[in-house]
Every structure is written in C-alpha cells, then in structure tokens.
Amino acid sequence: MSHARGRAGAVTPGRRSLRGQGEGRDATVERSRIAMARVLVVGAGLTGGLCAALLRRGRPASVAVWEQSRDSGGRMTTVQSAQDPHCRADLGAQYITCTPRSAQQHHSFYEELLTSGVLKPLAACIDGLVGKEGDRNFVAPHGISTVVKHFLKESGVEVSYGHRVTEIYLKDDKWEVHRDMGGSELFDIIILTMPVPQILQLQGDIKNLISESQKQQLASVRYSCRFALGLFYEAGTQIDVPWAAQYVPKNPYICFISIDNRKRDIDAANLGPSVVIHTTTSFGMENLEKNIEDVQDMILQQVSGVLPGLPTPTSTTCHRWTYSQVTKAFPNCPGQMTLHQNPLLVCGGDGFTRSSFDGCLESALHIMEALKPHL
C-alpha cells in the first residue's frame, strides 16, 4: 500500500490569513505520518502480542497484526463451553513459572500482569508438580489467553483474523505480503512469530532470500506434538478428586489432567466445572494424522481408566497441537533471526529461545533491538 504525498502542505498566496498556523501543524503531522514505518506482525500469540505492545511503547510505527486463526493466544489458548461462555478451559499453557532470574530481569512485566489482575499466584494443589527452589507459579483467573490479549490491547492494534500469510515478495524496497483469502498489502518491516516450520513453508521471494545456511538452521528446530481435550459440565456437577490438577506418571496416553476452573481458583456455585486432558507427546506423534473425532474417542476411553466415574460432559472440544513445545531450539538461542536487512524481515518466537513466558518475552525484546535502526 503506497502513501501518496499529495499537496497537503501547499498554501496559495492570500489564503494564509484564513488558515493561519493550523496549516503548518497539519503539514507536519502529515509528513510524520508518511515517514512512519509500516510494520506487519505475523501471529497473535504471546511473542506477537508482546512485539505489538513494545512497538507502541517505543518509536512511532504503524502496526498491523495478522493471525490465521479466529482468535488470539496461540499456544496460550482458552476456549469456552458451547452452552456457557463463562465456563472456560485452558487448552494450551496451564500456568506460568517465574524463576528468581526471570523475576529480576522481567520484573516490570510480571508486575504489570499481577497489578492488572491478569495473573495471580497459583494457590491450588497440582499433584506431581516439581519445582525448583525460588520458583513462583502464576495462573490467569480468566484464562491463559488473557495474557496475550492484555498485550494486544495495550498495543492498540486491531488484530486481523483469518489472515494466513502465503507469499512474501520484495517490491520497490518494501514487502508485498499475500494472504490465502486473497489480496496483498505493502509493509516496510515484517516480524514473523509463527512456528518455524511455517516460516519455511512461505512462498514468493522469501524462499530465495533466505540463505542455505539459514534454512538449515531453521530446519533444525524441533517441536513436540500432543492433543488437548476440554470437557465442559453443567453447574452443580461434582468432580470428586483432591487436587486441582495432576501430572500422570508412566501413562503412555495421558500426561496431565486439570480441573481447570479449580486450577484457576474459579469455583462459583452457578458455574459448571471444566476438565482439560493433555496427551503424551508419543501419543500425539502416533496419532497426528488421524481424524480428530477418532482421537477424542481414544482419549475419553483412556481417561475413564485414570478417572473412573468421571461424569458425562455436556460439550467437548479437542485440539491438535502440531507444534506444542520446542524440544530443540534454534542454535545458540539468539532470540531472533534477521532473514533480510533492508527492508527488514525478522523472525522470532519460542523456537529461538524456549517454550515459556520468559522465552517469548526474551525473543520479543531481541526483535525490538533488531528493529531499532529501522524505526
């Protein structure tokens, strides 16, 4: 999208007395707007949301966020019951662990989330949770996706959903970005925050602009895969277990079960409980290509053995996490990788650090450092 300079600042003789100094101010504002870099953030997960917020807090830029799915959050996803939108379940990340080092380095970010009520200390019992000395765990009372939504709201950017990037071309010192729904737009800077394998699938000039060594490094990043199943119940349903969540040891199918509302310390009498089941990564790999309904039936069958007597849910949702967690990060974990310098195209996310809140935050901060000379 080109910016036409036009004649916004032109003043003809004899008209200055009518418009006065306001004309000069308007011209200055227009020149500032024209000079502002147009930045595209691809992905409305945690790294993308943080980048959008940090861009607003830094130098002026016109920011757009494109997300291929119907909602923000990425792997910090919260879903709701089909019968009751207030009955929610975290299908992705369950809680945030803050190490003493993170508490010191990222204090302002944690303080911001705690002060705003997005996070609160984890008070519920998680059976089998193994922590290190000094670690603190936090939950999001209204769902883990509110962490991402908080930063997107702070950015002031309206996310464009259903925008899956398919091709990127270099055109007149700008990036021409195509989406699968049709159409294209021009940007000065692109930040890619999707999983690394999706970066390698992009078509257009980007395929030739990434060097062979860069491709090899990107291809070395590995992810685990798993399924997550959410079960929703009517208000008043009792789930009689002594814990809020439990790691399931030595089970080839299920690794984690959460009474999700209890984990988030939401136990209102008029709100139905929700249960989340995470499968093992081996189960995820073995069944990755199977029909999602068939996988859901398999999980429910296995859950009945772990939690006999579990009530029949009023609704369910099953999600396939093809890119669940990073098992092998980008070499040396630099936080970001610059694929093209001018115009700038940079990529980041937990594939360049580690799968955690702090890993995504570190990546976003490294991306901002790469952007400084270009804004």
Give CA–CA dist 374/175, Å, rounded: 14
Are 138 and 120 spatial neighbours (Cβ–Cβ below 8 Å)? yes
Ordered by start, the domain boundaries in the chain are 36-70+161-221+329-374
Which of 203, 189, 204, 228 lies closest to 348 in space, CA to CA? Answer: 189
List pLDDT tens digits, range 50-73.
Answer: 999 999 998 789 999 999 999 999
Average pLDDT over residues 282-299: 98
Give CA–CA dist 337/142, Å, rounded: 34
Residue 162 confidence (pLDDT): 97
Q: How far apart are the first and last CA of the chain?
A: 18
- Please give the class, per CATH, of domain 36-70+161-221+329-374: alpha beta
Name the pLDDT band for 35 (thresholds 50, 70, 90). low
Residue 254 bridge partners (DSSP): 279
Are 137 and 95 spatial neighbours (Cβ–Cβ below 8 Å)? yes
Is the pLDDT at 12 greater than 60, yes or no?
Answer: no
pTM confidence score: 0.89
- CA 183 to chain centroid: 24
Average pLDDT over residues 137-157: 97
Are 277 and 251 spatial neighbours (Cβ–Cβ below 8 Å)? no
Name the pLDDT band for 122 (thresholds 50, 70, 90). very high
List pLDDT tens digits, range 318-353.
Answer: 999 999 999 999 999 999 999 999 999 999 999 999
List pLDDT tens digits, range 219-267.
Answer: 999 999 999 999 999 999 999 999 999 999 999 999 999 999 999 998 7
Residue 278 confidence (pLDDT): 98
